[in-house]
């Protein structure tokens, strides 16, 4: 039974009007909430509710015919956060299943950023897919394959594709099916191009929602949840370059390197920082070729970048 049905049975209480829905966008002052039949209603929110994120499942009430009000945020399966003004942390997207990390031959891939994303995803319990876009532009294919093999060996799905030629897109569609995903990566790697290829009705939907919210035609929104034609959802959140690391400790980062996990219990000291400490099992595994030296090097850099080393 959905929460909506549960309340619908009891008309004597104010909650009787509560219905379940999913936040599909922030639009100006309002939230676009989609009900279980796919109808979108513009809702405002109670101030004391806290930050509502795209992808949130919510209970909303019908204040009047035009507008609803979000009354409650239902428990989240996952939440992705980013740092905001004044040292605060804001939710970017809720109830995601996985992140597709997009890289390309140009701009030059930043594997430290890739590892930053994988660590954050592991910490948040999110799946990871690594997609190399603009594959028709790759000059040194062997080198790319070698880098990807490191990620494949530790269990990440890696795809080579092209938004321009359409190569590999069926594999991406397959990876997105029945899941809620978001694309992440440096600017210029082709995230918008891929999103447009995946979502033929994207502009229509954006226009429909802005119209409903009484906003102009050219409004760009912070984030939007789209339904993929093959099933599954894609949250498009332009401008989210950094996420997930804000609340992580050095131990969380080490745990975010999934290939470290089997070695971590074997470090001599419980508080081992894996930075050359005596009896470190991670370092021993790197020296024995059991853990990729490049990933370990980036682990050290990531800690330094986060001021944790």
Nearer residue to Zn ion within complex by CB, 243 or 257: 257
**What is the per-residue binding string for ligand GDP in 119-138, x denoting contact by CB under 6 A?**
--------------xx--x-
The two beta strands, 67-73 and 57-62, are antiparallel
163 binds ligand GDP (CB under 6 A): yes
Nearer residue to ligand GDP within complex by CB, 164 or 171: 164
CB of 248 to ligand GDP, least distance (A): 25
Residue 111 near residue 147 (C-beta atoms within 8 A): yes
**Partner interacting with residue 67 (select from Zn ion, ligand GDP, none; CB below 5-8 Å by kind):** none
DSSP annotation of 56 reads: -
Residues 6+ apart with CB under 8 A from 46: 69, 70, 71
CB of 272 to ligand GDP, least distance (A): 38
How many binding residues for ligand GDP (CB under 6 A)? 13
CB of 194 to ligand GDP, least distance (A): 7
88 binds ligand GDP (CB under 6 A): no
**What is the per-residue binding string for ligand GDP in 178-197, x denoting contact by CB under 6 A?**
---------xxxxxxx----
Q: C-alpha distances in angstroms, 171 versus 113, 142, 147?
A: 23, 21, 20
286 binds Zn ion (CB under 5 A): no
- Please tell me the distance from the alpha carbon of residue 113 to that of residue 136, in angstroms, as a whole number: 23
**DSSP character string of 9-65:** T-TTSGGGG-EEEEEEEEETTEEEEEETTS-EEEEEE-GGG----BT-EEEEEESSS
Residues 6+ apart with CB under 8 A from 235: 54, 55, 93, 96, 180, 181, 182, 223, 224, 225, 226
Nearer residue to ligand GDP within complex by CB, 240 or 303: 240
DSSP annotation of 260 reads: G
Site for ligand GDP in 49-68 (CB under 6 A): none
- Please tell me the distance from the alpha carbon of residue 237 to that of residue 228, in angstroms, as a whole number: 15
**Partner interacting with residue 189 (select from Zn ion, ligand GDP, none; CB below 5-8 Å by kind):** ligand GDP
Q: How many residues does the chain have?
A: 309
In the list 45, 162, 206, 210, the residue contacting ligand GDP (rule: CB under 6 A) is 162
CB of 105 to ligand GDP, least distance (A): 9
Closest CA to 96 of 131, 130, 132, 121: 121
In the list 52, 282, 286, 291, the residue contacting Zn ion (rule: CB under 5 A) is 282
Candidates 24-32, 87-95, 231-239, 273-281; binding stretch for Zn ion (CB under 5 A) = 273-281
How many binding residues for Zn ion (CB under 5 A)? 5
What the block records as the tokens of 224 is 């939007």
Which residues in this chain contact ligand GDP in the complex, by CB under 6 A?
A: 133-134, 137, 162-164, 187-193
Which residues in this chain contact Zn ion in the complex, by CB under 5 A?
A: 267, 272, 274, 280, 282
């Amino acid at each position: 039974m959905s929460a909506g049905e549960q309340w619908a049975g009891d008309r004597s209480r104010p909650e009787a009007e509560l219905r379940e829905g999913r936040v599909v966008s922030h639009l100006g002052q309002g939230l676009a909430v989609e009900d279980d039949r796919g109808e979108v209603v513009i809702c405002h929110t109670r101030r004391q509710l806290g930050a509502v994120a795209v992808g949130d499942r919510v209970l909303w009430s019908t204040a009047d015919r035009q507008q609803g009000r979000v009354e409650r945020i239902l428990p989240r399966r996952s939440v992705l956060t980013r740092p905001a003004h004044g040292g605060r942390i804001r939710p970017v997207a809720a109830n995601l299943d996985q992140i597709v990390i997009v890289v390309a031959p140009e701009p030059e891939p930043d594997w430290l950023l890739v590892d930053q994303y994988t660590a954050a995803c592991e910490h948040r319990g999110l799946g990871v897919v690594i997609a190399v876009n603009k594959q028709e532009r790759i000059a040194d294919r062997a080198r790319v394959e070698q880098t990807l093999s490191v990620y494949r060996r530790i269990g990440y799905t890696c795809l080579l594709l092209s938004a321009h030629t359409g190569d590999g897109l069926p594999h991406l569609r397959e990876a997105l099916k029945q899941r809620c995903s978001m694309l992440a990566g440096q600017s210029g790697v082709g995230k918008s191009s891929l999103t447009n290829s995946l979502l033929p009705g994207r502009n229509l939907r954006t226009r429909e929602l802005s119209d409903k919210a009484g906003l102009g035609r050219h409004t760009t929104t912070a984030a939007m949840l789209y339904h993929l034609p093959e099933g599954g959802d894609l949250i498009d959140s332009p401008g989210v370059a950094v996420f997930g690391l804000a609340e992580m400790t050095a131990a969380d980062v080490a745990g975010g390197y999934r290939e470290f996990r089997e070695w971590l219990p074997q470090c001599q000291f419980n508080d081992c920082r894996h930075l050359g400490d005596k009896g470190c099992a991670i370092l021993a595994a790197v020296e024995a070729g059991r853990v990729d030296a490049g990933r370990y090097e980036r682990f050290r850099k990531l800690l330094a970048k986060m001021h944790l080393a």
